[in-house]
């Protein structure tokens, strides 16, 4: 290359860049570099000056320059020529000019570059817009970049001084641009650290520049400018943090100074941010500058240049600065204003800042640091408490850590009587309670937990107690009213001897409440105040709570609670002005009276409601009913909480889709706050202690707003489940669902409406729900199950079971599997719930997996899947075992496949159920007791199925039931709900289920609102009864003796009848049990109940078990008393005759059996006589078939003869009575004459018959009198017939008594116990125990209505006085003990009638007895009898006792003897 060649290009005035580029393209050889350099320098010396040379680095078109420079720099770098040439050119020119000027080349370089920099940055200073700009323009930025590149080349060649450059730049530029400094630092020309050290004024300049840069808003159409803005800030912050918070090994004074300087800059910026927060309360109204600076608290922005330790120290320092900034509020201010500092009311800027500062530090460390700050600094309480709320809302682990912190603070407070620790603990606990029970327990719960028991902190000594009470007393002037109420209603535990100390505080707190015009009388009757309430509970709200509690107690006990009765007397102002108005709030009354209406009526009957107030209430209710359909809530208001909630739920759905975990928690806090506004009458109750009353027959009328809210929440939840499932399976999702359910659990009234709505959906609308609804509601139920430990329990009204149950168990009872439609819905819902739960708990330990699988729904599937999918029956479910699944298919090992099958639109429920059935987790769960479907549960479910609406036809149902009984449960171990291979155990389960079925089904279906579906004939009872018959037949034919089968069946019934504990309803349950058993009994072969035994080579009948069964159980359930049902009586006799056919001498064995029955089982004897006319043709026909025409056995013939004799007496034939037992003859007479009127009997010679019998068989008449008295009691206890019948029965008794009155035998039937009845002991085995207890009442009821002549004859009867006194004492004892109220028909009109007569009879009986005693001979009773009567009357009726002593005592006898 030659110099002349270069000159050819000079006239074209090309730039230096173009010139150098041309030379590069020609690619000169490396050895020509030096010669080319010298030629270029010579050329430039001739044509250019230094300023022109520097300007050559610029270009009129910056964009082209940038693109060309980038490309050519890369190419030049590969060649290694341009950079060196450019640097050499500049250095040569600088040295040349410096030599001419006589100055150092470095100084000239600094001056020249500074002039060029001023030209670049000052090019548009005159423009108005430029004065507001804090960043360079894009053109300036490009030119500056080229200039700094040249500067770096000079610096590398030792011809430039960075420090001198900055000194000149700072001196000449009043306000250097921060971006220029950023580029100087980034290009390693001069560090920001040196700039900070260079001059004291740099600090204030940097702070102002940072504020200006944060506050400047970049144009919307220039996103690259926004990036430059953030890059400048992050660079500066990185340097400040690194310099200010890095720990030096040997800290020197200069390093210490610069470290403090950097910290002060950061503190000034944080203070600027906090000042903005103080002026603006929401993120929307906050400045963009504050938001931008908050973004700088990000480890990813400044973590590249800063070590993790320095970053942690920076965040901790910033948190401390925030918590201690402007501590103007005192502790008393914090106590008074704390309710305004909840998360929902906090500034969005502040919560965003706290979230950033808490990212890289664990919760435990944050709370320990908070405790340290509180102990060593004066703090800003608003910032401290807002920080705590943010931590609780955004971090699920914060609750447990806060509990530990509070425990440490209280231990420290009571250990050293430290007042500051005490104040801190109370403020932090109250702040946590403000966020609701979803984030921290209520204040009342925390206070009771800390101080309510004997293990409380104050319970250790009197000094600790005094310390606590003194502290609480000091808080009284500042405490809001609801905290004072907590302290009063849930006071700390105090020993009895220190009770006065507590009363002093209570008096002080009540005085303060009075000063605040919060009436102590308005504190309510059953108040349960929560510290989470945002404001004191208004009196009318408290009254509503009291009203609901009073109605609840009335509903469960049937009585007005003592608290309400006391309030109506001792707290009358509150009762009249608060409680009654809340109770008598006008409403549209339901057609069927509910508990509230019944409670109002009870108060009215007790004269507790003023007549005018009640009249006004009823009139208002009528108007409310008329306006019910026209009333609508306005939705046009922009502040409508329903619209607010709708927007919040939509935002929540968007956040769930974005998977923004922290923002989800914040949004849930806002949703909870809105729900508290919509449900204002329910302050947050202690979680886990409330009880939800599920009205399943007549749900309570909820406001339309509440119904809309519930539907909106459920709809939103279903949508969130679908949206989140499209992106991830349940186990990969954030815990948004559990957190949402946790928030809902904190609002008891809302939860009650939710449960009622879910019940209605599951029970009434299930088959109509879409797949999306089923999937979402299934997931909702799963999360309710996971929250069981924190959920309120449910009381079902009316309840099929008295105990309280978890929510999921209550909802599962709504899934009635009694029809095909209900079965299909139930299996769809349960399959979806199981798939969701198993997938949600995938990869968790087995114990935690169970939290996501509701056992009640799992059992539904154990019942339904084998029933609806026959192919699954081939796979035994218990125990997963190794190997493939059913039909050789591989088993599912994870939950993803399950979830895909449940959410696949092309998949049916059958396919999903098959996937689930072979899933490993599903199969393992059956080994856990709580997930096992016991045979008794299976039977109960099968017996509820309606046969005409079953999913299975009759043959398939029979096949399924036989599989379940014989293949599944018979061989299944007992501890897994099976029968362990024992057929007797299987039969006992079936028999128990059948006996429970009738009452259980009716009660269950009525409880779940299925009154129309109750049908005994429509259930599967005949099918299950057929299974029992099959099993009993199998036991017979497989060699088991009939005695074993009979004993087994009757023993089982005996256990059932004796299992009930004594109670008012015991006899009702007993009667139901025996009625159901009789239905089963009649379906089984009659011969089973009479055993055949072999003795000495002879076969004989053994009726002992049958007799014991009748005497102990059948007797107690007879209706009417003393008479077995016809079919049962005939069945037993049929069994005796049939069993006798297996004996060698059938007729002889029947005679022996009947003789035993006549002697030991009088009830069966009397019943046989009663039904003989109807039963004899069947028995005769049976006997003739069994005996091939042999004559009737003697005992049966005797029955027929007695019946014939009694009928003959009716026709006037007074032939002698047969030689039969007296009871048999009495029963025959009773059957013949009992139903006739007195006139009819007299016309037919009844009196003559009685006289004849009395002369020959007096015992017959005594038994006959007993049977008549038994009828008399039945007519009073169970008035099922006309009044004429009752009169006829009484007259029958009088007729028999008239004949017997002179004989003392008739008195024996009224004696108690049976041992005193002599020959008539058997009468107690004829009737029910209730009649036996009422015999004293029958004695006086019958006797006092007789004529004076008959009474006089009775009084002179031997032993009458003794019997009369004993009956009177027993009658009095019955009245005092209230036994007359414990009748199994306690609600019948007749029992009430008896209770009305008892006082009258008692009075008349006492008068009659006193007259009888006064007229009685002293020898009427023996001395031992007299002592017995006196001792028994002494306490019950001293007047009668005195009369006995006066008239029959030894003194009276001696006076008579003396007189004689």
CA angle 1180, 1186, 1190 (to 5 degrees): 65
Distance between CA atoms of 444 and 459, rounded to whole angstroms? 18
* Percent of the residues in the chain that have a pLDDT greater than 90, as a whole number: 19
As a whole number, mean pLDDT of residues 1157-1169 equals: 93
Q: Is the pLDDT of residue 562 over 80?
A: no
Other beta carbons less than 10 A from residue 583's beta carbon: 22
- pLDDT tens-digit map of 156-198: 877 788 888 888 888 877 678 888 888 888 888 888 888 888 8
Please tell me whether residue 1199 adopts helix, strand or coil conformation: helix
Residue 12: count of CB within 10 angstroms of its CB: 8
Nearest alpha carbon to residue 119 among 51, 189, 65, 205: 51
Q: What is the pLDDT of residue 830?
A: 95
Q: What is the mean pLDDT of residues 564-573?
A: 78
Which of 61-70, 648-657, 873-882 is predicted with the least confidence, judged by mean pLDDT? Answer: 61-70
CB-based contact 121:140 (threshold 8 Å): yes
Q: What distances in angstroms separate CA 162 from CA 147, 191, 407, 691, 1005, one per listed residue?
A: 14, 9, 59, 77, 93
- The whole-chain average pLDDT of the chain stands at 79
Q: What is the pLDDT of residue 23?
A: 38
- Strongest mean pLDDT among 101-115, 754-768, 867-881, 898-912: 754-768
795 backbone φψ class: left, alpha, beta (φ>0; ψ -120 to 50): beta
Of the given ranges (709-723, 1144-1158, 1377-1391), which has the lowest mean pLDDT? 1377-1391
- Residues with Cβ within 8 Å of 1077's Cβ and at least 6 positions away in sequence, in order, are 995, 1053, 1056
pLDDT > 60? residue 27: no
**pLDDT at 326 (0 to 100):** 87
pLDDT score recorded for residue 159: 77
What is the pLDDT, as a whole number, of residue 1183?
A: 92
What does the pLDDT average to over 1128-1133?
Answer: 94
Higher-confidence residue: 633 or 49? Answer: 49
Which range is least confidently modeled, 265-274, 539-548, 986-995, 1039-1048? 1039-1048
Report cis status (omega within 30 of 0) of the bond before 241: no
| Segment among 157-161, 361-365, 1351-1355 with least mean pLDDT | 157-161
Per-residue confidence (pLDDT) for residue 87, from 0 to 100: 64
Of residues 1033 and 943, the one with the higher pLDDT is 943
Q: Please give the Cα distance from 484 to 506 (Å, whole number).
A: 9
Give SS3 for 946: strand
Nearest to 398 by CA among 656, 662, 649: 662
For the cut 70, the answer to whether the pLDDT of residue 9 exceeds it is no
Crossing angle of helices 443-451 and 481-489, rounded to 10°: 40
DSSP3 helix / strand / coil % (the chain, rounded to 5): 70, 0, 25
> What pLDDT score was predicted for residue 781?
95
pLDDT value at residue 21: 38
- The reported pLDDT for the residue numbered 156 is 80
Helices (H), 491-610: 499-515, 539-557, 562-570, 572-574, 580-583, 595-605
Q: Is there a cis peptide before residue 798, judged by omega within 30 degrees of 0? A: yes
Is the pLDDT reported for residue 1438 higher than 80?
yes
Please report, to the nearest 10 degrees, the dihedral formed by the alpha carbons of residues 707, 708, 714, 715 taken in order: 150
Report the alpha-carbon distance of residue 421 to residue 331 in Å, rounded.
12
The CA-atom distances, in angstroms, between 1094 and each of 448, 1091, 1139 are 73, 10, 13
- Span 1273-1310, pLDDT tens digits: 888 777 655 556 677 888 888 888 888 888 888 888 88
For residue 941, the model assigns a pLDDT of 92
The pLDDT of residue 1108 is above 60:
yes
Paired strand residues for 1091: 1102
Six-digit token pair at 592? 């069927």
Alpha carbons 1117 and 1119: distance in angstroms, whole number? 6
Virtual torsion, Cα 1388, 1392, 1398, 1400, nearest 10 deg:
-140
Q: How confident is the model at residue 129 (pLDDT cuts 50, 70, 90)?
A: low
Q: Sorting pLDDT into bands at 50, 70 and 90, what band is 66? A: very low
Residue 972 vs residues 796, 802, 977, 1350: alpha-carbon distances, Å: 33, 30, 7, 71
- Examine the pLDDT at 746 and tell me if it is beyond 60: yes
User: pLDDT tens digits for 861-870?
Assistant: 999 999 999 9
Distance CA 724, CA 78 (A): 53
Residue-wise pLDDT tens digits, 595-623: 888 899 889 888 889 988 888 888 888 77
pLDDT band at 714 (very low <50, low <70, confident <90, very high): very high
Mean pLDDT of 509-533: 64
Backbone angles phi, psi at 1091, to 5 degrees: -90, 155
What pLDDT, on the 0 to 100 scale, is given for residue 1124? Answer: 93
By the 10 Å C-beta count (0-12 exposed, 13-18 middle, 19+ buried), 70 is classed as exposed
Helix (H, G, I), strand (E, B) or coil at 1216: coil
pLDDT 10s digits, 419-438: 999 999 999 999 998 888 77
**pLDDT at residue 13 is higher than 50:** no
Q: What is the mean pLDDT of residues 657-664?
A: 79
Distance between CA 1046 and CA 1156 in Å, rounded? Answer: 18
Closest CA to 195 of 210, 211, 209, 182: 182
In the structure, what pLDDT confidence band is assigned to residue 1123 with cuts at 50, 70 and 90?
Answer: very high
CB contact at 8 A, 1148 and 1092? no
């Amino acid at each position: 290359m030659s110099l002349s060649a270069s000159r050819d290009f000079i006239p074209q005035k090309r730039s230096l860049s173009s010139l150098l580029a041309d030379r590069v393209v020609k690619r000169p050889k490396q050895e020509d570099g030096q010669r080319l350099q010298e030629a270029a320098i010579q050329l430039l010396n001739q044509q250019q000056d230094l300023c022109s040379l520097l300007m050559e680095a610029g270009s009129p078109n910056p964009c082209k320059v940038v693109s060309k420079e980038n490309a050519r720099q890369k190419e030049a770098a590969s060649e290694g020529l341009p950079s060196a040439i450019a640097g050499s050119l500049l250095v040569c020119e600088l040295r040349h000019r410096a030599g001419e000027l006589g100055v150092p080349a470095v100084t000239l370089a600094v001056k020249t570059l500074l002039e060029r920099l001023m030209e670049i940055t000052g090019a548009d200073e005159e423009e108005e817009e430029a004065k507001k700009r804090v960043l360079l323009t894009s053109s300036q930025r490009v030119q500056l970049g080229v200039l700094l590149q040249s500067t770096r080349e000079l610096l590398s060649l030792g011809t430039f001084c960075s420090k001198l450059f900055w000194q000149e730049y700072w001196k000449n530029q009043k306000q250097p641009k921060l971006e220029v400094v950023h580029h100087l630092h980034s290009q390693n020309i001069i560090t920001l650290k040196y700039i900070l050290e260079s001059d004291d004024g740099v600090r204030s300049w940097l702070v102002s520049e940072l504020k200006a840069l944060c506050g400047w808003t970049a144009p919307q159409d220039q996103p690259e400018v926004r990036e430059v803005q953030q890059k400048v800030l992050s660079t500066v912050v990185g340097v400040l943090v690194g310099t200010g918070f890095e720990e030096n090994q040997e800290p020197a004074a200069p390093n210490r100074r610069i470290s403090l300087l950097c910290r002060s800059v950061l503190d000034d910026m944080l203070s600027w941010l906090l000042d903005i927060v103080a002026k603006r309360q929401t993120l929307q109204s906050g400045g963009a500058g504050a938001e931008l600076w908050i973004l700088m608290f990000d480890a990813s922005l400044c973590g590249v240049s800063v070590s993790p330790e320095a970053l942690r120290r920076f965040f901790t320092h910033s948190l401390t600065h925030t918590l201690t900034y402007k501590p103007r509020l005192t502790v008393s201010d914090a106590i008074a204003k704390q309710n305004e500092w909840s998360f929902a009311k906090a500034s969005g800027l502040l919560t965003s800042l706290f979230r950033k500062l808490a990212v890289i530090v664990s919760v435990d460390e944050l709370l320990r640091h908070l405790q340290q700050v509180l102990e060593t600094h004066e703090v800003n309480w608003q910032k401290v408490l807002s920080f705590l709320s943010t931590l609780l809302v955004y971090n699920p682990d914060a609750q447990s850590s806060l509990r530990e912190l509070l425990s440490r603070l209280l231990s420290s407070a009571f250990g050293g009587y430290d007042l500051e620790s005490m104040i801190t603990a109370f403020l932090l606990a109250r702040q946590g309670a403000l966020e609701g029970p979803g984030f921290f327990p209520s204040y009342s719960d925390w206070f009771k937990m800390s101080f309510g028991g004997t293990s409380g902190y104050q319970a250790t000594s009197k000094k600790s107690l005094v310390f606590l009470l003194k502290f609480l007393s000091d808080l009284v002037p500042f405490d809001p009213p609801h905290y004072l109420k907590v302290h009063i209603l849930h006071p700390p535990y105090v020993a009895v001897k220190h009770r006065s100390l507590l009363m002093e505080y209570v008096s002080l707190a009540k005085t303060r409440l009075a000063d605040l015009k919060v009436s102590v009388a308005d504190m309510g009757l059953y108040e349960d105040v929560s510290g989470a309430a945002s404001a004191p509970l208004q009196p009318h709200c408290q009254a509503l709570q009291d009203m609901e509690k009073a109605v609840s107690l009335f509903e469960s006990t049937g009585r007005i609670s003592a608290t309400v009765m006391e309030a109506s007397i001792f707290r009358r102002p509150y009762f009249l002005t608060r409680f009654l108005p809340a109770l008598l709030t006008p409403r549209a009354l339901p057609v069927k009276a509910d508990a509230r209406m019944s409670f109002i009526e009870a108060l009215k009957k007790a004269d507790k409601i003023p007549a005018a107030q009640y009249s006004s209430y009823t009139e208002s209710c009528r108007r409310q009913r008329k306006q019910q359909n026209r009333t609508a809530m306005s939705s046009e208001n922009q502040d409508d909480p329903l619209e607010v909630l709708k927007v919040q739920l939509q935002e929540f759905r968007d956040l769930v889709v974005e998977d923004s975990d922290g923002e989800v928690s914040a949004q849930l806090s806002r949703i909870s706050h809105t729900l508290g506004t919509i449900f204002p009458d329910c302050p947050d109750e202690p979680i886990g202690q409330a009880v939800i009353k599920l009205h399943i027959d007549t749900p309570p009328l909820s406001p339309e707003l509440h119904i809309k809210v519930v539907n909106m929440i459920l709809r939103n939840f279903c949508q969130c489940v679908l949206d989140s499932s499209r992106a991830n399976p349940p186990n990969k999702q954030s815990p948004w669902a559990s957190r949402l359910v946790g928030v809902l659990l904190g609002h008891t009234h809302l939860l009650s409406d939710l449960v009622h709505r879910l019940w209605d959906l599951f029970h009434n609308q299930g088959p109509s729900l879409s797949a999306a609804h089923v999937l979402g509601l299934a997931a909702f139920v799963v999360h309710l199950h996971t929250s069981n430990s924190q959920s309120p329990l449910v009381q079902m009204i009316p309840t099929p079971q008295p105990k309280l149950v978890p929510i999921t168990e209550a909802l599962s009872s709504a899934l009635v599997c009694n029809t095909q439609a209900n079965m299909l819905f139930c299996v769809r819902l349960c399959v979806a719930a199981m798939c969701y739960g198993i997938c949600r708990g995938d990869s968790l330990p087995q114990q935690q997996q169970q939290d996501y699988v509701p056992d009640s729904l799992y059992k539904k599937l154990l019942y339904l899947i084998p029933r609806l999918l026959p192919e699954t029956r081939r796979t035994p479910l218990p125990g997963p075992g190794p190997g493939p699944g059913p039909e050789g298919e591989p088993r599912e090992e994870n939950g993803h496949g399950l979830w895909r099958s449940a959410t696949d639109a092309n998949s049916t429920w059958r396919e999903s159920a098959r996937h689930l059935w072979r899933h490993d987790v599903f199969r393992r769960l059956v080994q856990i007791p709580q997930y096992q479907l016991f045979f008794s549960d299976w039977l109960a479910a099968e017996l509820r199925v309606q046969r005409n609406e079953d999913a299975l036809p009759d043959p398939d149902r029979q096949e399924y039931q036989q599989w379940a009984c014989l293949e599944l449960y018979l061989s299944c171990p007992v501890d897994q709900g099976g029968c362990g291979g024992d057929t007797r155990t299987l039969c006992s389960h079936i028999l128990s289920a059948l006996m429970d079925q009738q009452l259980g089904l009716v009660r269950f279906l009525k409880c779940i609102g299925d009154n129309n579906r109750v049908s005994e004939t429509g259930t599967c009872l005949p099918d299950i009864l057929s299974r029992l018959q099959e099993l009993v037949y199998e036991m017979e034919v497989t060699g088991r003796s009939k005695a074993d089968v009979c004993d087994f069946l009757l023993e089982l019934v005996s256990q059932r009848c004796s299992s009930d504990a004594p109670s008012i309803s015991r006899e009702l349950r007993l009667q139901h049990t025996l009625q159901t058993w009789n239905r089963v009994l009649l379906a089984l072969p009659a011969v089973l109940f009479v055993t055949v035994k072999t003795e000495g080579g002879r076969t004989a009948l053994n009726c002992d078990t049958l007799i014991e069964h009748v005497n102990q159980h059948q007797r107690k359930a007879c209706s009417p008393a003393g008479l077995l049902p016809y079919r049962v009586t005939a069945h037993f006799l049929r069994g005796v005759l049939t069993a006798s056919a297996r004996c060698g001498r059938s007729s002889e064995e029947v005679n022996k059996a009947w003789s035993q029955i006549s002697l030991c089982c009088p009830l069966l004897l009397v019943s046989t006589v009663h039904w003989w006319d109807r039963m004899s043709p069947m028995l005769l026909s049976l006997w003739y078939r069994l005996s091939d025409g042999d004559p009737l056995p003697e005992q049966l013939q005797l029955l027929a003869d007695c019946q014939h004799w009694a009928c003959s007496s009716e026709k006037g034939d007074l032939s002698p009575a047969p030689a039969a037992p007296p009871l048999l003859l009495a029963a025959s007479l009773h059957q013949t004459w009992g139903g006739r009127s007195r006139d009819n009997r007299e016309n037919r010679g009844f009196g003559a018959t009685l006289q004849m019998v009395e002369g020959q068989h007096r015992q017959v008449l005594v038994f006959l009198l007993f049977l008549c008295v038994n009828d008399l009691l039945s007519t009073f206890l169970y008035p099922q017939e006309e009044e004429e019948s009752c009169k006829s029965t009484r007259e029958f008794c009088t007729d028999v008594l008239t004949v017997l009155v002179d004989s003392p035998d008739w008195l024996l039937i009224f004696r108690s116990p049976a041992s005193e009845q002599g020959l008539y002991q058997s009468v107690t085995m004829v009737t029910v125990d209730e009649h036996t207890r009422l015999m004293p009442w029958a004695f006086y009821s019958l006797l006092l209505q007789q004529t004076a002549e008959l009474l006089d004859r009775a009084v002179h009867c031997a032993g009458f006085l003794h019997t009369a006194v004993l009956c009177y004492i027993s009658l009095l004892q019955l009245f005092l003990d209230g036994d007359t109220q414990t009748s199994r028909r306690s609600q019948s009109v007749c029992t009430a009638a008896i209770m009305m007569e008892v006082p009258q009879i008692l009075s008349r009986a006492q008068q009659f007895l006193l007259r009888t005693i006064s007229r009685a001979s002293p020898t009427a009773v023996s001395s031992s009898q007299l002592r017995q009567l006196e001792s028994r009357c002494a306490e019950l009726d001293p007047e009668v006792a005195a009369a006995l002593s006066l008239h029959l005592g030894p003194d009276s006898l001696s006076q008579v003897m003396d007189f004689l």
